[in-house]
Structure formats: structure tokens, C-alpha cells
Amino acid sequence: MNKLLTIARQSAWNRRSTLVWVVVSLSLATALLWTLERLRHDIRHSFSQSVSGVDLIVGARSSPLQLMLFSVFHIGSVPQSMRMESVLKLAQHRSVSWVVPLSLGDSHRGFPVLGTTPAYFQHFAYGDKQPLVLQQGAAFADTLDGLYEAVIGAEVARKMGYGLGQSITLGHGMHDHDHDHKGEPADGNTDEHADKPFKVVGILAPTGTPVDRSVQVSLKALEAIHLDWVAGTPMPGGQIPADQARKFNLEPEEVTAALVGLKSRAAVFNVQRFVNFYEEEALIGVMPGVALGELWSVLGLGENALLAVSALVALVSVVSLVAVVLAGLNERRRELAVLRAVGAAPRHVLGLLTLEGLWVTCAGVALGVLLAHSGMALATPWLQQSLGIRLQMEAPLPSQLALAGAVLLAGLLASLGPAWRAYRLSLADGLSPRV
Amino acid sequence: MIDIEPLRFAWTRGGPDTLLLGRLLVDRGQTVFLHGPSGCGKSTLLGLLAGVLSPRQGRVSLLGQDWAALKAGQRDAFRADHVGVMFQQFNLLPYLSVLDNVTLPCRFSKLRRERCQAAGGPETAAQSWLQRMGLPEALWRRRADTLSVGQQQRVAAARALMGQPELILADEPTSALDAALRQGFMDLLLQAARDAGSALVCVSHDEQQAARFDVQWSLPALQQAGVKA
């Protein structure tokens, strides 16, 4: 075999201009499949890590998935709020250990603002029941003195360069402030709630969940900044200054949703029934795990479509490999005939062809994996920032290896087909190439 | 050394005979000029001599070994050991150097490698044959496809001579060459074959060269003899 290696190497080097494209096309297919599989896995992982220790998410009746996506991932919206009264009722249920109300709708520079109570920092958990940790400062006080205090997520602090004591203002809605508002004020501050600035009092440690991208304030503060607003527009006839706001009743009447923790998980169906048949308001109680399951089945459709497209891409690249190899067959035929004439046996010829198919596909797959990893390394900050998805740059998944293996196998088979044909031809040619 | 017993050969099973030959013998070191019009079966006869083709009837043996008695793999090995071949053109692997092309037979035949050992190893043997074929030393390390057709034929001849195989088969080795070069090339090839002690069977249209060979075979004449037999 050794005597063949050098010939195989030199022969391939001689045809490098075509072989390079075979390797490139294989590597692109591999990179696509590899990245997609990683992405698929990490999106799922990311979603499933985002909420932990919460037994029920309760909100006004809508689809379970919609409620969970909005309250935990700040994606989409819910049609209605739930009454604070109902939240308090729920808290009195004998099986309920804690209730944390959530209020969403405002934003800061594109980061969602979450109105809640200090209990949020105590009870909300992510990953494997890991609690939120304040890297700097403390939670907001929930008193009138600490009305305009905010706790920001790690990504907010990093991206905006905020430290403790930073003054921030909130805007209405979830829009991206970089692109909005024509006729903006001269000072460039476009936030609707600029008259009531907040002070950053705490910065959370990174979690790899949507929490990193959130600004947390108290429910009372959200009431305060909306005092002079009616139905989403500023109240005609004057503003209420920040200090004046403290004199008003700031207890919220409505919230978006509530996170519920139970004394015992066994009671979850009991409490869920209590919520779903609550008489004074149409509510729904969602178990995060069940909603995630629903999410997977929705995502699954898109994932399968993507996977099918990538499989097609892989197929196309394998077919192009066959085409390239077949196109070069006449040149090869002459070469094989020469080898036969100087004493190479058919098994040498077959070995030569197999060897080339093997290393070409191996190189393609290896390059593809390399490509995928550099691509993911480049895309990670963007994914983390815009979607809150953290790609895991660690050991490859079994499913990734299986896909790479499939490409390898397909590539090998594709190169062996023409090789077999070349081999048959070289046998038929005998010693003199009929080309 | 070559012993052809009356044979028939047809390309297709049940088809008409392409070759119908009587007994033919070639001695060690003998040079044979094989000529005839195009398509009369000259290359087919070479294929039979090399054991690539098998006759429908009769026997072809080389060094007392009947080709038909060997399995495919054994035939390949026997051919690699005892037969050197060259064609009209496209004899060389374009991406290898001249020297690497010449030493190729030693990669596949242990016997020829060992014979080269006596001359100081494959590399030295290759250089000596290239010298004998009159190829300038400056070209030895160049890629084979940078050489002219005439130069490439000399390289192919040197390769066929490596390890002094008992038989050299040359299929129209000069037909791609200019008339002016043919004479010189044939001189060198005949002399080198004699030096190597190899028998040479050379197919050619160039009848001017015929007289310089020990034996002349006209294939049409041989065919008629075959019919009578």
C-alpha cells in the first residue's frame, strides 16, 4: 500500500483544482448540518434552562405557549392582563408557597423591562434550580424612597456599559429605540418616560437566559411612570412630576402574569384546576414543562424542514462530487492504464481510487466541522444578544457526529461509484488506453 | 522463450476470428518487427503476448509459462516481472518526475527491483537507462509532461528496460515522432534491448526499420499461414 500512497498523493495534487471544489462543497454541506444540529440542540437547551423552580405560570386565558413565551422569554404578547386581586387570591391558596407577579410592556433601549416584586430575585431560578445572584448592588427596595430603582441583567450592563448608579429612562412598548421616532427631542432622549429616570442599584450575574437582557423594576414604579398616561398615550392636560407621583396610589390593579411556586409539586394539578376554573376572571395556569413540550412540537416542524433542506444540500454536494469525478474519468483512465502497464494489479488501482475518495471526503467533513465552529464562534455574540441563546462550544453531540458520519459515508459511496467504473474500464482497457 | 501454439482469437464469443495463427517462436534476446495494415490485429497479438487477452484456442506461453494456466492476479504479477511495455504515446504519469516514472516498474515488481539492485538500486539503474536512451540529464528531475513527445518516448523506453525484463512489447513507439527522430530512437531502443538481453517485439508501420530486426513478421502473411495450418 505504501508505494501507492505517494502516487495517490501526487495524482491528487495534480488534480487539486477540481478536488478542492469537491472538498469545499462537502465541507459546506457538513458545516450546514453540523451548525443546524448544534443550533437545534442549544435552542432547546436554552429554552429549557430558562425557567426552573416555577410550578405554574398564571395569566389571563390565552394559549399556554403564548403565555409562557411572553412571561419568561419576552417574546410576542398576551391579549389581556390579569387582575392583581386574582394574584392575591392565588397567594392565599393553601398549597401555594409563593407568587411573583410580572408586568411587561416597556423597554429600555430595546431591552425588555420587567415589573415585579423583590420576591422575584428570591424565587425565580434557571438551569438546574440555580437562583439569581446579584453580582453588584442589591435588589430594588420596593419602598417609596426606592421607587425609581432598577436591577439590570448582565447583558444589559455589558452591552450598554452600565455600572451601579447609572441613570436610565424607560420607553413605551418593546420597540427598538435605535431606529424609531422621527421628530425626536433635541437632547436625543427619545424615551416617553424620560421625565422619571431610574437609578441602577443592582446588576445580576450572567445566567445565559432572557434574564440577562431584562431590566427589572418594581410594579409600583411601573404604575408611577404610567400615571399620566391613558390608553397608551400621554394624558392631555399635564404631566405628573416624578416626586409628585409618590403621593398617588401605586398599587397595581393589573399584571401580565404571575409565577407560582407550590409547597409540594404534588398539588400542581389541584392548583391548576383552581386557576382554570377561577370564577371571577378567565385565567389559565401553565406548567412550564408542558408548555415547553408544546414549543418543541411547534419548533419541530421548522427544524425538520431545515434539516430536510440541509440534507438536500448534502445530497447536491455529493452528486456534484460524482459529477466532478466522472468528468475527470478520461484523464484518470489514461493514468490507470499507465499504472496497469507498469505492473499495477487491479487491486492497486482500486486501492488508489478508494484512498482518494476516503481522504477527499474526510478532508471535506473535517473542514466542514472547522468551518461550522468558526462560524458559530463568530455568531455567538449576536445570538446571545438578539435571541438570548448561548451556543455551547463543547464536545460534539452524538447527533452531530451521526450527521457528519452520514456525510462521510455518502461522500465515500459517491466517490466509490465512479472509482468502480474507472476500475472496470481500466480492466477492459487492458494495457493500452483506448481514449 | 515465446511459444505460440496454433491459436484462434475472437473479440466476441462466437464472433469471427480476429487472429488465426500457426506456431510462432521467439528466442531470448531476439528482436521482432511486426507489421501489417491498420486493424489487422497487431495490437491484439501484443495483448495475447502480454497475457492480457486469452486465445479461444491454442496457447501462448512466455518463459515456458502458459498464460492461461495463471489466475488473473498471478498473470498481473508475472507480467510485471517479465514484460516491459510501451505505447505510441501517453506512457507516462504526467505528475511524476522523469526518474519516478522510470522507477515505477520497481514499485510493483520485486524481481525487477532486485535486478536493479545489481546496478546500484532503482535510481541508479534508471539514470543509466535514461543515459543510454540519450535523454539529457537536465531533464531527469523535471515533471514528465514538460517533455516533448520524443523525449517522453525515450523515458518510456528506459522504463520498459528497467530490471531487464525478458520481453519488451512496443506498440508503434515511433509513430508519434517526426520522421527525422525515428531512426535515432529505433537505434537506441534496439541497442538498449540487446544490452539488456531482452527480446523485443515491436509493432510499426515504418518498414524502413524492418531490416534492422532479427525477425520480420507480416501479420497478414502469418494469418494465411494460420489458415493453411
CB burial string A202-239: b at 16+ within 10 A, e below: bbbebbbbbbbbbbbbbbbbbbbbbbbeeeeeeeeeee
DSSP H helices, B11-63, are: 42-49
Domain assignment present for residue A291? The answer is no
Q: Which of A158-167, A170-179, A316-325, B158-167 has the highest mean pLDDT?
A: B158-167
Task: Point out the least confidently predicted range of A19-23, A158-162, A345-349, A392-396.
Answer: A392-396
Q: Least CA distance to A347: which residue of chain B?
A: B73
List chain A residues with CB under 8 Å of B95. Answer: 10-11, 13-14
Q: pLDDT band at B97, cuts 50/70/90?
A: very high
- CA–CA gap between residue A218 and residue A204 (Å, rounded): 16
How do residues A117-154 score in pLDDT, each as one tens digit?
988 988 888 877 888 888 888 888 877 777 889 999 98
Do residues A74 and A169 share a domain?
A: yes
pLDDT for position A179:
41
Q: pLDDT band at B8, cuts 50/70/90?
A: confident
Do residues A42 and A60 share a domain?
A: no
- CA–CA gap between residue B73 and residue B71 (Å, rounded): 6
Answer yes or no: is pLDDT of B147 > 90. Answer: yes
Q: Which of A399, A398, A400 has its CA nearest to residue A373?
A: A400
Task: Point out the least confidently predicted range of A243-247, A274-278, A351-355.
Answer: A243-247
Place of cell 505460440: B4
- In A169-289 the beta strands, taken as DSSP E runs, fall at 171-172, 198-204, 215-218, 229-230, 233-234, 254-255, 257-262, 283-286
Do residues A160 and A182 share a domain?
A: yes
Looking at residue A411, its amino acid is G
Do residues A112 and A161 share a domain?
A: yes
Residues of A (405-434) whose Cβ lies below 8 Å from B: 430-433
A11 touches chain B (CB under 8 A): yes
How do residues B152-208 score in pLDDT, each as one tens digit?
999 999 999 999 999 999 998 988 888 888 888 999 999 999 999 999 999 988 888
Q: Which of A225, A242, A224, A256 has its CA nearest to residue A120?
A: A256
How do residues A330-370 score in pLDDT, each as one tens digit?
778 888 888 888 888 888 888 888 888 888 889 999 999 99
More confident residue, A394 or B6: B6
- CA–CA gap between residue B177 and residue B148 (Å, rounded): 10
Q: What is the pTM of this model?
A: 0.70
* C-beta separation of A138 from A155 below 8 A: no
Do residues A208 and A276 share a domain?
A: yes
- When divided into structural domains, chain A yields a total of 2
Domain edge (last residue) among A233, A258, A286: A286
Contact: B107, A345; criterion CB under 8 Å: no
CATH of domain B2-228: 3.40.50.300
Domain edge (last residue) among A286, A321, A338: A286
Q: Least CA distance to A338: which residue of chain B?
A: B91
Domain edge (last residue) among A263, A286, A309: A286
Give the domain extent around A358: 2-46+297-429
DSSP H helices, A117-267, are: 119-123, 154-160, 219-225, 242-245
More confident residue, A248 or A304: A304
The cell numbers describing A401, all together, are 457526529
Residues of B (160-179) whose Cβ lies below 8 Å from A: 171
Domain assignment present for residue A434? The answer is no
The C-alpha torsion from B67 through B68 and B70 to B71, rounded to 10°, is 130
Domain assignment present for residue A106? The answer is yes
- CA–CA gap between residue A199 and residue A217 (Å, rounded): 10
Q: Which of A17-21, A27-31, A78-82 has the highest mean pLDDT?
A: A27-31
Which DSSP helix (H) or strand (E) runs through B54? none
A42 touches chain B (CB under 8 A): no
Parallel, antiparallel, or unpaired for β A215-218 and A111-116?
A: parallel
List chain A residues with CB under 8 Å of B80. Answer: 342-345
- CA–CA gap between residue A25 and residue A155 (Å, rounded): 37
Place of cell 507489421: B35
Contact: A342, B79; criterion CB under 8 Å: no
- CA–CA gap between residue B156 and residue B96 (Å, rounded): 13
pLDDT for position B189:
93
For A395, which DSSP code? S
Place of cell 495490437: B43
Do residues A102 and A184 share a domain?
A: yes
Average pLDDT over residues A224-253: 73
- Secondary structure tally for chain A: helices H, strands E: 13, 17
ipTM of model: 0.88
Contact: B90, A7; criterion CB under 8 Å: no
